[in-house]
Amino acid sequence: MAAGMSNILLETGTNEVEILELFIDEGQYTGYYGVNVAKVLEIIPLPSNIMRPPHLKGTFAWGIFNHRGKIVALLDLAAWLKRPRAENAQPKVLITEFNSTITAFLVSGVTRIHRATWSDIRPLDGYAEGLSDSVTGVIELDDKLVFLLDLEKAIGDLNPQLAISNPVQPVGHMVVGDFEPIKVLHADDSVVIRNTLRRRLEENGIFSVRSVTNGEEAWSYLTEAKTKSEAKGGTLSDFVDIVLTDIEMPGMDGYHLCKRVKDDQYLKSLPVVLFSSLITEKLVHKGEAVGADGQFSKPDLSLMQFMKEAVERRRQTVQ
């Protein structure tokens, strides 16, 4: 199965997603998990050329191997989830690309690719004890629960440098607006990302952040802001200056949220910035198709300067 070459073609902005279902054989129990097909380059048998250098940190780091001329880290997904994995004569390895990094994940096997919508995916809400830090949502597929994995957290646990940190350059001072903070509506289903990014954005006083957990909540806030600003004779900037959104979120994804904003005559002037591990050269066209003003791959915080400049331009235009 070549997961990155599915025959299912999804139109961007329809709130649909392809989920690769995989499993971990624990012996007497089989756990089923899902990952976004957009992150998977290919699926291969366990390589024979794996090296295990002593300096490779992380109890779930299986080793490293040469794949198509690149040294790739192989992570044991079961060990990361703190689950047992029965010995399997034919385990599979997922070669993935996200956060501008190629990483491999060891699993017991894969089943199939499912087509679903983000509205079918629900937050974990106590479905599985001990999985809340590693799972972003749950969906019922073929009469079984499939847990969507937070692979970004796995590589962040292995290498903290791949997590969100301080911006490389200071953002500077506002040119327009006389110190009026930029009102950011930020949507991300990860509480860690929401809290960390809010702290980074607000630390110099330039940004003021309202955080929501998914695209549905963001859209609800925007439509309410639209109604209030129209009714009171104000402007949309009384409530929000820019939208910053993840792509993968239960309920409504970032592509669909962006498309809704850009299709709305009142809201379309709002800059929308996509901030996601899915921003790669191969996938940037998807954001362009829904009218995104900017696209940045996690954990690239150079987006802060871009956001400031985008809002400055909009404020100058509406004056």
Q: How far is CA 276 from CA 38, 279, 299, 314, in A?
A: 12, 6, 8, 23
Residues 195-225 have pLDDT tens digits of: 889 999 998 889 999 999 999 999 999 999 9
- DSSP assignment letter at 197: H
Report, as an integer, the average pLDDT of 163-192. 67
Per-residue confidence at 179, pLDDT binned at 50, 70, 90?
low
Report the phi/psi class of residue 68: left, alpha or beta, with left for phi > 0 and alpha for psi in -120 to 50: left
Confidence of residue 131 (pLDDT cuts 50, 70, 90): low
Give the pLDDT confidence of 265-312 residue by residue, as tens digits: 999 999 999 999 888 888 889 999 999 999 999 888 889 999 999 999
55 Cβ contact partners less than 8 Å away, ≥ 6 residues apart: none
Domain locations in the chain as residue ranges: 3-161, 164-318
pTM exceeds cut of 0.85: no
Per-residue tokens: 92 = 């599979």
Specify the fold of 164-318.
Answer: Rossmann fold (3.40.50)
What's the residue count for the chain? Answer: 319
**Which of 46, 44, 101 shows the shortest CA–CA distance to 70?**
101
Q: Which amino acid is at 159?
A: N
Q: Which CATH superfamily is domain 3-161 in?
A: CheA-289, Domain 4 (2.40.50.180)
Do 3-161 and 164-318 agree at the fold level?
A: no
226 Cβ neighbours under 8 A, 6+ residues apart: 236, 264, 266, 267
**Residue 6: per-residue pLDDT:** 43
